[in-house]
A and B are shown apart, each in its own frame.
Chain A
Amino acid sequence: MSRRHTLGNVAVALALVLLFGWLCTTVFALLGTQTDWSKAWEYRETLWRGWWMTLEISLAALVGSVFFGLLFMLGQRSPLVVVRWTCRAFLEFVRDTPLLVHLLFGYFVIFAPLMSRPLGDRGWDDKWMIGVLLLSVFEGAYLGEILRGGVESIPKTQWESARAVGFSRVQIYRYVIFPQALRRVLPAMAGLFVSLIKDSSLLNVIGVAEYFYNTKNFISRSYAGLEGYVPLALGYLILTLPVAWLSHWLEKRFRHET
C-alpha cells in the first residue's frame, strides 16, 4: 500500500468514526433519558419466544421451500406441455407479486376459510402452519428458478453419458445431475435462505407471534425505543450471519472447482 493510500484510508476511517459517533451521541442524547434497558429485560420471555418462533419458521420454511423448489423445477422440465406452462405461469405470478400480498390474500381469502377450523380443532396453530406454507411457496418459486438454472447448466453430454451407462431417469438426476448442479447453485441458495429468514418477519401481518410481532407488541406496550429495536436487529443478525458466512465460504470453495 502506498503512503497516499494509507493516508486516504486513515482519513476516511476517521471521518466515518466521527460521523457514526456524532449520530450515536445525538440519538442517545435525545432518547437517552427515556431508554430503559430493564424494560427489555422484563419482556425477555416474550422476546425469546418470538425469536425461537422465527427460528422454527425459518427452518420449517427452508425445508418447505426446498420441496416446492424441486417441484417447480421438475414441473418446468416435465414432458407434458400443460404442466410446464402451468408451472411457468404460477412462478411468474408468485415472483411478480409482493410476499405481503400473498400472505394477506393467501391467509384471509384462501386458507383461513379452508383450513383454520380443522387445524384449530386438532389444536394446531393454523396461522403458523399457513404462514410457513405461504412463505415456502414464495421462496420455493425463487429456489425453483435457481435449481432450474443449475440443472440446465449441466451439459447434455452428461445426460447422454448417464443414459449410456444404464441409469434410469431418477438415478440420472440423483447421481449425475444434482451433485453437479448443486455445487453451482449453493451460493445462490444460501443467499436465498438469508432472504427467507428476513422475510419471515412479514408473517406478523397475519398474526403469527414471531420475533418481529412480539417485539412490536413489546414496543407499543412499553413505549420502548432503542431497547426494542436494537435487540430486534441483533436477533435477526444472529440468524442470518451464519448463513451468509456459509454462503461466502461455499462460494470460495467451489469457485476453484470444475
Chain B
Amino acid sequence: MLDKLTLVKKSKKPGAVAFLLMITILLFVVMYSIGMIVFVNKGFAKPQMFMNLFISNAGLIVISCGLTIVMITGGIDISVGSVTALVCMVAADLMEHKGMSVYMALLSALLIGLAFGVVQGFLISYLDIQPFIVTLAGLFFGRGMTAVVSTQMIAVKNAEFLQWANAKINLPIGYTKKNGTFIPSYIYPTVVVALIIVILITIMLQRCNFGRELYAIGGNQQSALMMGLNVRRVKMKAYVLDGLLAGLGGFLFCLNSCAGFVEQAKGLEMDAISAAVIGGTLLSGGVGTVVGTLFGVLIKGTIASLITTQGTLSSWWVRIVLSALLCFFIVLQAIIAGVGGKKLKK
C-alpha cells in the first residue's frame, strides 16, 4: 500500500514541488536583500526586523499551515479568519468576564477550532458539499457568533496571559548601537510555537502515511479511491486538523493583539490562502509544502514591511503587490500543471 502511494506521488508532476518551493524561497531572499540594501539606513538590515516578520505573523503561519493541508487535498477553508476572531473574543471573554484561567482560554480556543473542523469536515467529506460553500457558512457563523459574545472590544488583562504574551526570548544575535551597546534580538513564545508547528506538519506530510494519503487524494481522488484509500476519512481528518490549527493560530493571534474584537482578523483567510499559493500550493490539490507556506507568509510580511519602511506609499500597495505576485504564481502553476499533463498523455 505504501509503495503504491509512493508511486502515485512520483508520477504526479515530479519536481514540481521542489521547483515551486525554490522559486518562493528565492523570491523571498531577493526581496529581503533588496530591502536590506535600499533601506539599510532605516534599520531593515537589523536582525530584529527579520524576527518581527515572525512575531507579527505567528498566528498567520499556523493558520496557513492548516489551510495548506486542506488545499493539498484539493479543498479550501475560508472560515479561518472568523474562527480567529471568535477564538480571540471567547478567550478574552472567558478570562476577563468569566474569571477563567489562561489554560481554560487556550483549551476553549482549541475546542472551538476542533468544532469548526469536525462540522465542516463532516459536511465536506461525508455529504460531498463544496468546501467553499461549507466554509463560507463557517465564515459567516464565526463572525456572527463573535458579535453575539460581545460587540464591545474586550482587552485581556489576565496577568498570566500577559506574561505569556510579553515573555521576550532574547537571541544570541542582535545588533550593536552606535554608542556600543549591544541590543539582542528577541522573539516571543508564539514564534516558537509557530515554528514547531511548521516542523511537525512537515514531518507529518513527508514521513507519515497520513501525509502521503493527503497528497494522493489531492493528486487524483478517483485513483486514490480505487487504490483502497478511505478518501472520506482522510479528508475529514484533514479538516479537523485544519480546524485545530485555526484555533491554535487564533490563540497566537490573540497573544499578539491582547484583545477580542468583532472586527479582528477580517480577511485573514485570504492572507492565509495567498500565503499558501505563493508558497507553491496548487489550488487544484496534490502539491504543496508548509515550508513553502511559511515563506509565503514571510513574503507577505516583507512586502508590508518594505512599504511601511518606505513611509510615503499608501499601505494599499501591499495588496497590489500581493495580487501581482499571486497572478505570477498562478500562471507559473498553470504552466507547470500543463507541462506535466502533456507529458502524462505521451
Q: Is B a genuine binding partner of A?
A: no
